[in-house]
């Protein structure tokens, strides 16, 4: 038995030593840290007290990341570990721990944004909604096939229905775009294809590296920290 | 902002800093801050509501609940960051001699930044919380400033 979590080896508040009065117990064991690194997924299940399982992630390369202000989550690759408030060593060794700041791939979020708002992040906004509908109509018209008259009628019927739905859908997207703002810092990150995110799960416990994209004041804070480090 | 003086970003758990509604200025109720009542008719200090400090161990703005014992004592030392030492005096009865003897115990307690200017000699009410550190299991919930330097050395039983 190695690491123990019992407090009997600790000194008292007064500074006095505590005498050992019992041996180590299985129920109070600690285990060596996972030190989850960046790499192809490697997770070991551990049998814990009560028959429960902990998933010790030894290597991870992706996770589920939330974009808070848009209220969505996507699975993305982790590209790099960039900052750790507790220990610079963990940054150097690229260790994934809760609270570490990492760089993640922005593609799934970019795709979602395009699908949800109908425009790419960082594009200049299309002012007239009508232009958008015209574009879509052209796209749908391009596909033409040889069909029987009945099939053609059916298709034409479906097409008008689809056009109606399309129009409604586009209008919906336009409405979503109204007054919607993305901060400039995020836009810059999206253009580079990399986002700063903070890990909020415990990879050594649950075997996952999930977290949230940094935004607002928090993002400013860490960007500033990284800049000052670079200067040194 | 002087509360961001650590290596990690200080924020309250449960407050979303980058809320779109705040960013767009739709919610203009001032800064969002999680403040709670600790119960037992203890008043939440104004500084806790209006202040900008972040303290996860604060009973009013942090993630601790006050339950169990409520004690009172005199502050002896405020040299630590956000924790103080309190002295509690009591009398111990000796049956053989039908008399009492003075005894005391020192208690470390977490002191939230909402209680500014706590100095040795002040009387403080502390409430029991879950262990906040190796020795700290109490949290300051009420502060009564006292005048007079010798207040520390008086025997006061609460």
**pLDDT tens across B62-71, in order?**
999 999 999 9
Cα gap B104→B92, rounded to integer Å:
10
pLDDT, tens digit, 9 for 90 and up, residues A1-43: 689 999 999 999 999 999 999 999 999 999 999 999 999 999 9
pLDDT, tens digit, 9 for 90 and up, residues B18-60: 766 665 555 555 567 889 999 999 999 999 998 889 999 999 9
Contact assignment for A217 to B9 by CB distance below 8 Å: yes
The residue ranking higher by pLDDT, A160 or A52, is A52
**Structure tokens that stand for A183 in this block:** 């901060």
B6 touches chain A (CB under 8 A): yes
Contact assignment for B24 to A181 by CB distance below 8 Å: yes
- DSSP per-residue letters across A79-135: EEEEE-SS-HHHHHTTB--TT-EEEEE-HHHHHHHHHHHSS-TTPPPP--HHHHHHH
Q: DSSP letter for B120, please.
A: T
In this predicted structure, the answer to whether residue A77 has a pLDDT above a threshold of 50 is yes
- Residue B158: per-residue pLDDT: 83
Cα gap A83→A192, rounded to integer Å:
19
Portion 202-221 of A in contact with B at CB < 8 A? 215-219, 221
Q: Alpha carbon of A46 to those of A39, A43, A55, A226: distances in Å? A: 20, 10, 6, 36
Q: How many CA atoms lie within 13 A of B149 on its CB side?
A: 0
Residue B4: other Cβ atoms inside 10 A: 17
Q: How many CA atoms lie within 13 A of B140 on its CB side?
A: 29
- Give the pairing type, strands B83-94 and B138-144: unpaired
Cα gap A162→A151, rounded to integer Å:
16
Residue B116, min C-alpha distance to chain A (Å) = 26
B94 touches chain A (CB under 8 A): no
Contact assignment for B11 to A179 by CB distance below 8 Å: no
Contact assignment for A218 to B23 by CB distance below 8 Å: no
- Residue A128: per-residue pLDDT: 47
- DSSP per-residue letters across A172-184: HHHHHHTT----H
A·B CB contacts under 8 A? 39
Question: What end-to-end distance do the CA atoms of chain B give, in Å?
Answer: 40
In this predicted structure, the answer to whether residue A130 has a pLDDT above a threshold of 50 is no
- Give the pairing type, strands A211-213 and A62-67: parallel
B26 touches chain A (CB under 8 A): no
- Residue A118: per-residue pLDDT: 84
- Residue B91: per-residue pLDDT: 96
């Amino acid at each position: 038995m190695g690491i123990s979590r019992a407090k009997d080896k600790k000194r008292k508040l007064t500074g006095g030593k505590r005498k050992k009065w019992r041996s180590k117990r299985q129920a109070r064991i600690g285990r060596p840290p996972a030190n989850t690194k960046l790499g192809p997924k490697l997770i070991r299940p551990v049998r814990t007290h009560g028959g429960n399982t902990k998933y010790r992630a030894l290597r991870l390369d992706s996770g589920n990341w939330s974009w808070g202000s848009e209220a969505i989550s996507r699975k993305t690759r982790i590209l790099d570990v960039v900052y750790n408030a507790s220990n610079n060593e963990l940054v150097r060794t690229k260790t994934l721990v809760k609270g570490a700041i990492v760089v993640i791939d922005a593609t799934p979020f970019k795709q979602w944004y395009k699908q949800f708002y109908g425009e790419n992040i960082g594009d200049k906004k299309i002012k007239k909604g009508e232009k958008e509908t015209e574009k879509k109509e052209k796209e749908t018209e391009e596909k033409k096939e040889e069909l029987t008259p009945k099939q053609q009628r059916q298709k034409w019927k479906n097409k008008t229905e689809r056009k109606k739905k399309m129009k409604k859908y586009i209008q919906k997207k336009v409405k979503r775009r109204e007054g919607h703002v993305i901060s400039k810092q995020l836009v810059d990150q999206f253009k580079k294809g990399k986002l700063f995110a903070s890990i909020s799960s415990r990879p050594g416990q649950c075997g996952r590296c999930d977290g949230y994209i940094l935004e607002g004041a928090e993002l400013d804070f860490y960007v500033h920290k990284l800049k000052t480090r670079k200067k040194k | 902002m002087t509360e961001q003086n650590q290596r990690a970003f200080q924020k309250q758990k449960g407050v979303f800093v980058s809320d779109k509604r705040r960013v767009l200025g739709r919610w203009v109720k001032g800064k969002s801050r999680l403040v709670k009542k600790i119960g037992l008719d203890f008043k939440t200090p104004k500084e806790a509501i209006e202040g900008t400090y972040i303290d996860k161990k604060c009973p009013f703005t942090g993630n601790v609940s006050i339950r169990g014992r409520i004690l009172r004592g005199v502050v002896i030392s405020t040299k630590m960051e956000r924790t103080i030492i309190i002295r509690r005096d009591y009398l111990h009865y000796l049956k053989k001699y039908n008399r009492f003897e003075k005894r005391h115990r020192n208690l470390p307690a977490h002191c939230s930044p909402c209680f500014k200017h706590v100095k040795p000699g002040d009387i403080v009410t502390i409430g029991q919380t879950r262990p906040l550190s190796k020795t700290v299991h109490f949290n300051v919930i009420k502060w009564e400033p006292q005048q007079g330097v010798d207040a520390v050395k008086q025997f006061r039983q609460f």
